[in-house]
Amino acid sequence: MMNLESHEIPFSFEQPEAIQTPLLSLLQRIEQTELSMPGSIQGSVAQHVLVIDAVDSRARYIERVLFMARYRPVLVPKALDAFTLFLRGGYNPLAVIVGQDEANERFFLQRLLTQIEQRYDRKVPLIRLLVKQGPPSALRSQRTVPIPPRPGSSRGNSDSFHAISPAISLIRPQEPHGMPVQSSPILTPPSPSTPEPLFPQQMPFVTTDAMQLGTQEAAPLFTPSAPIPSRSGFENSQQLPQPKQIQPLSLEGQDLGRYRVRTLIGANVYQTYDRLRERDIALKAYQTNAIPYAMMEGQLEESNIFELEAELLDPLKHPHILPVLNTGKSYISGVPFIYKTMPLCAEGSLKQWLWQRGENRMFSSQEILPILLQLADALQFVHNRQVTYQNFKLSNLLLRGQAESLDKMHILLADFAITQDGSFFSHSADAYPYIAPERWLGQTSPASDQYGLAAIIYELLTGRPLFQGTSEQTLKHLHMNMQPQPPSAFNPMVPAYVNSVLLKALAKDPQDRFPNVMAFAKTFQQYCSV
């Protein structure tokens, strides 16, 4: 390999925390050396550290160590992926950490380091991990190891992450077992003799409650009274046994108690006739023995995820939040199902509405404003009650009634995240364009919802997602490290002030965004016609 600065640091699966001090000390020395040289890298390199490691549990641990020490980690499993990512956008890392030294990796690693040197006129130090033999499952313990801040660091935008998560957990982002939870009443199904309204009473976009514009500090969030399904199984999927593949069973034409299932209208969602209420509703069902393993680990037979969602939403009656009407469990031909029922939105989702009119269509800020105000009002409403949404995608924004234009729409938020501790993460390509930087690392706050809403508005303004990519890892890197182009670069109708408003709501650091989501919406409203 080419002549370069190379270092070796031991890593043990039994004591992973032992890497923290030598790794962070080495990175500080590298950074100080770089800053003392002519043509200092300050501002463009010092925050980025490239980690190439195919062992997910080890890579995630190192990612958290770096992030909590105020670096910006970029994770890829292979040197080829790192080289491809560099060719797509270019990045200038402070150092490269390599988890394994395989012969077939050296070629692309050498090409990557050569390209960086040619483009930025600097040799990137290489840090190799000397891995002691040990079971990777050791990283699944629930120990919590505090990460000290970097001595002498002056980056003011990083303290906010310490405020959100003062310690690093060896499993991201699951909370330690035994953590006390608040007790909340379980949802009681409505009495058959008392028909419930499908939607809360209509109210103006901006309510008195929504205009309580306090700062967006992290507050204790909703904790269900039942156990929450854990994500840790997904993080360690290579180390855990996988269930056999089960062919999902269609419910079309089937009966679930009082519900006569008719036609499939979306992902696991059916138009259904409620014989008791004598009306059509929407029914969403999961076949529990075919649910992805990451969800099954929480033993859904004992803790129905739809019951948890109903419990979460029961006190959150709002005209722009889709309510859960009922939940239950049933068996069809011996196959177990869990389900929830909701008001039927026959017009479908915003995604379907846009597709019918041309997916890449751009809208003016005035056309988009009513949607922004509706969604911001709903989000501010739940934020004031210590609940976050966390599940932005165009298919989760449902239309109530017909609408020929955006400014005539009545939008509903659907499918809230049932966990409120940052552990919810939608591994769906439809969700990646709207996931805030901190959420990729297992943190969430009301500011994360502000980012997701701003990403939706950006897409409506420009006719394209905030960032474009095909893989989870690529989108994660872009959200965490790349600045978006101003909307006016794609849509000349966007006023200059709106550029600034939207980019502030899309700031990488939650502390740099607006104090709350309604402040973002009202500022957008103020400048959208300037």
pLDDT confidence tier of residue 89, bands split at 50, 70 and 90:
low
How large is the average pLDDT for residues 128-157? 48
pLDDT confidence tier of residue 99, bands split at 50, 70 and 90:
confident
Q: What is the pLDDT of residue 167?
A: 33
In the predicted model, what is the mean pLDDT of the chain? 76
Q: What is the third-level CATH fold of 6-134?
A: Rossmann fold (3.40.50)
Checking if the pLDDT of 515 tops 90, the result is: yes
Q: What is the pLDDT of residue 291?
A: 58
Structure tokens at 129: 């991990």
Checking if the pLDDT of 240 tops 60, the result is: no
Q: What is the pLDDT of residue 164?
A: 26
Q: 369 burial class (0-12, 13-18, 19+ CB within 10 angstroms)?
A: buried
350-527 in CATH: which number? 1.10.510.10
Domain 216-236+246-343: top CATH class: alpha beta
CA distance 31 to 199: 57
| Residue-range domain boundaries for the chain | 6-134, 216-236+246-343, 350-527
| pLDDT 10s digits, 341-350 | 999 998 899 9
Residues 6+ positions from 517 with CB-CB distance below 8 Å? 216, 376, 379, 380, 383, 446, 449, 450, 453
First to last CA, the chain: 57
Helix (H), strand (E), coil (C) string for 273-296: EECCCCEEEEEEEEEHHHCCHHHH
Checking if the pLDDT of 301 tops 70, the result is: no
pLDDT confidence tier of residue 404, bands split at 50, 70 and 90:
confident
Which position has the higher pLDDT, 288 or 303? 288
pLDDT confidence tier of residue 40, bands split at 50, 70 and 90:
low
The C-alpha angle 232, 234, 235, rounded to 5 degrees, equals 65
Which position has the higher pLDDT, 220 or 245? 245
Strands (E), 55-141: 72-76, 95-98, 126-132
Q: Residue 269 — φ and ψ, nearest 5°?
A: -115, 130
Could you count the other beta carbons within 10 Å of the beta carbon of residue 506? 22
Q: What is the pLDDT of residue 488?
A: 93
Could you count the other beta carbons within 10 Å of the beta carbon of residue 138? 15
Q: 201 burial class (0-12, 13-18, 19+ CB within 10 angstroms)?
A: exposed
Q: 329 burial class (0-12, 13-18, 19+ CB within 10 angstroms)?
A: middle
Bridge partners for 337 per DSSP: 287, 330
| pLDDT 10s digits, 415-444 | 898 876 666 777 778 888 999 999 988 888
Q: What is the pLDDT of residue 456?
A: 96
Checking if the pLDDT of 512 tops 50, the result is: yes
CA distance 166 to 40: 31
Q: Among 178-182, 410-414, 502-506, name the one with the lowest average pLDDT.
A: 178-182
The C-alpha angle 433, 316, 226, rounded to 5 degrees, equals 85
| pLDDT 10s digits, 367-398 | 999 999 999 999 999 999 999 998 999 999 99
Q: Do domains 6-134 and 216-236+246-343 have the same CATH topology?
A: no
Structure tokens at 191: 């009495």
Checking if the pLDDT of 236 tops 50, the result is: no
